[in-house]
Amino acid sequence: MRFNRRILLTKNNSTNRFVQIDVFRGVAIIAMIFFHFTFDLSYFGIIPSDTIHRPNWVLFQKLIAGSFIFLAGISLHLCHGSGIRWSHVKKRLLELGGAAFGISFTTIFVFGDFWIKFGILHCILVCSVMGLVYVHCSFSVILGITVALGAFVFFVRTPIDLPVEFQWLIETQLPHYSLDYSPVIPWILVFSCGILSSKAKSVLNLNLPSFHKAFWDTTVISIFAFIGRSSLVIYIIHQPILFLSFYVYKYLT
């Protein structure tokens, strides 16, 4: 695969894709797999059980989640910034909705009370629906909405006193007991920042940092781009593969 250094777009299934976005998403996927591998090590008792709950690991997990959500905001604007493409919206909602439901359903049987009720995919799904309201608006409108969201996140202290039914929206005082919990607030702010950054690039005609063409022709970059294009599939299948590998390892040892 060869990349065009000037516009850094590549054709895939008759749609233009930004190579940088695919590469960044590929890096995030690799980081996520590393984090989940560490989680599995602690889950199977190979390393201390509190490892991923230590501050540095919690920060690492938040950075990974934020990367996915930020890139999802950019992607939403790249796709719908000039007008909502409803056929694509329907397809995307079905993909994300099906994946989110599958993860929730599966983790009920694997983790019991700690099943994933509203994780990263659920959050991206809801943020994507909310983002459709203003993704095609002017830069000033998107900026105003993003600033308002930032002010809300800054001034509202969580957890707040709301019924458990609102835990998908914001952290409440009732314990949630979930291995992956990503409420819409505050993550909608990160998502909106992704929309805003993409809008700023188009309005101000900004370019992402450019590198020599040879850089984009390297095998490593091609691999990251491929991983980024396949991120949803990898997200769904990587943990079952890791779990099965650890079960086999534990059985053999």
- Burial per residue of 29-44, b for 16 or more beta-carbon CB atoms within 10 angstroms, e otherwise: bbbbbebbebbbbbbe
pLDDT at 146: 98
Query: What is the chain's length?
Result: 253
For residue 214, what pLDDT is reported?
54
Nearest C-alpha neighbor of 160 from the set 33, 152, 92, 122: 152
| pTM listed for this prediction | 0.88
* Other Cβ atoms closer than 10 A to 235: 19
Among 203, 120, 199, 191, smallest CA distance to 150 is for: 191
45: left (phi over 0), alpha (psi -120 to 50) or beta: left
Q: What's the DSSP call for residue 169?
A: T
Mean pLDDT by 10-residue block, N- to C-terminus, for the chain (253 residues)?
37 55 94 96 92 95 97 96 92 95 93 93 97 96 97 93 92 88 96 96 63 63 91 94 92 84
In this prediction, residue 211 carries a pLDDT of 52
